[in-house]
A and B are shown apart, each in its own frame.
Chain A
């Protein structure tokens, strides 16, 4: 079992880094989705 500081720093780096990277990836995917399915006022009115 790793010591407390190694554990804490690992959580900080991997945990925060993982959260940041995941949300970064999701924001890129969302930006792409917006490009692929752009907002069209006429179609939205039909719905």
Chain B
């Protein structure tokens, strides 16, 4: 009987006995992510499930990520199959109003300039010895677009899925902190004070309807490997603009996006097992991700400066910083910074155009990158 009691007690302390030193470290990181999400409001929709997933996957013997474990089942069903990021994209498309970019189609170019960080970071990752597919995945953090990062990582570098996703979502939430100093450093006071003309609503409903269809066909033909990304975001937008499938649009914006965000978040957290995650590689990936997003801002603002020169000072270079995918956070940062230097400056609509361009630009950059890799025989 005593032996039975001892065995029973042994079962109760087995979790503690099997704790690897990295598990408490990761639990602390999970708690930090929860703190950032709950107390600091940094992307709480993602950081709360990621943080919690990170904590529970580091409890030994629960087998959550072993075959038939509940997190493994969710992960295999939605992340490995790439379905979760694509469902999220339908929701993003259904939530995004592309009118600002259609009002000023040139802002598409700011959205392209904002993707430069992807390719420069790819070069850095290669220089640091990462394999081709890993370097591509790290570079994609510069898309500043969580679902795109997850989509690419789940296909080409699953070992980096955790650090890349955490980097993408954390830095996206840090855009209001990261961008202003770079914007200030690269522009003169005169440039920052530039007032841009506000324009009237000039986009017809037909153009708004044709936009997702044309983007899907042209973009898909140029970069077929990225069509799932492009097609899902544009399907969401077509549903929104058509106005005839309100139930589907609302479901995509709310129920589908919410359920998938929860499952995606907890699945990403589940990849953060201490034995795999606590490695020098993770720190390097996080550092490169930060560099990628800063480089995006640098290149966006520099491109804005070029437009400022070409147009004879009609375009405020600050809007170049919004050419990334962090929508609409980045546009709000530009508006706030613009007003800081000139109270009469209303850059929001222009910045929203660049930001919507950045949304399409990040997807297009990933699509082009995948198609180039396919063409080169790397994937």
User: 8 Å CB contacts to A: which residues of B84-131?
Assistant: 101-102, 105-109, 111-113, 115-116, 118-120, 122-123, 126-127
Q: Are B372 and A33 in contact (CB under 8 A)?
A: no
Q: Are B215 and A26 in contact (CB under 8 A)?
A: yes
A37: B residues at CB distance < 8 A: 204, 206-207, 210
- Kindly provide the distance from the CB of B377 to the nearest chain A CB, expressed in whole angstroms: 8
A33 to B361, CA, bound (A): 19
A9 to B123, CA, bound (A): 7
What is the size, in residues, of chain A's interface with B at 8 Å between Cβ atoms? 34
A31: B residues at CB distance < 8 A: 105
Q: Give a binary string over A1-19; 1 marks a CB under 8 Å from any B CB, 0 the rest.
A: 0101101111110111011
Q: Are A39 and B203 in contact (CB under 8 A)?
A: yes
User: Smallest CB-CB separation from B366: which chain A residue?
Assistant: A19
Q: Give a binary string over B358-379; 1 marks a CB under 8 Å from any A CB, 0 the rest.
A: 0011001100110111001010
Spot the interface stretch: B21-29, B180-188, B218-226, B258-266: B218-226
A47 to B209, CA, bound (A): 13
> Is B132 an interface residue, CB under 8 A from the partner?
yes
- Kindly provide the distance from the CB of B218 to the nearest chain A CB, expressed in whole angstroms: 6
A19 to B201, CA, bound (A): 28
User: Smallest CB-CB separation from A37: which chain B residue?
Assistant: B206
Return the contact of A15 from the options B126, B218, B372 (Cβ within 8 A): B372
A22 to B112, CA, bound (A): 9
Q: Are B361 and A23 in contact (CB under 8 A)?
A: yes
User: 8 Å CB contacts to B: which residues of A18-45?
Assistant: 18-20, 22-31, 33-34, 37-40, 43-44
> Is B211 an interface residue, CB under 8 A from the partner?
yes
- Whether A30 contacts B109 in the complex (CB less than 8 A), given A7-B126, A39-B202, comes out as no
B interface list, Cβ under 8 A from A: 101-102, 105-109, 111-113, 115-116, 118-120, 122-123, 126-127, 132, 135-136, 201-207, 210-211, 214-215, 218-219, 222-223, 357, 360-361, 364-365, 368-369, 371-373, 376, 378
- The 3 A-B pairs with the shortest beta carbon distances in the complex, nearest first, are A27-B108, A27-B105, A37-B206
A interface list, Cβ under 8 A from B: 2, 4-5, 7-12, 14-16, 18-20, 22-31, 33-34, 37-40, 43-44, 47
22 contacts between A and B (CB under 8 A): A4-B127, A11-B136, A11-B372, A11-B373, A15-B122, A15-B369, A16-B116, A18-B222, A18-B223, A19-B112, A19-B115, A19-B368, A20-B109, A22-B218, A22-B222, A22-B364, A27-B108, A30-B101, A34-B105, A34-B204, A34-B207, A37-B207
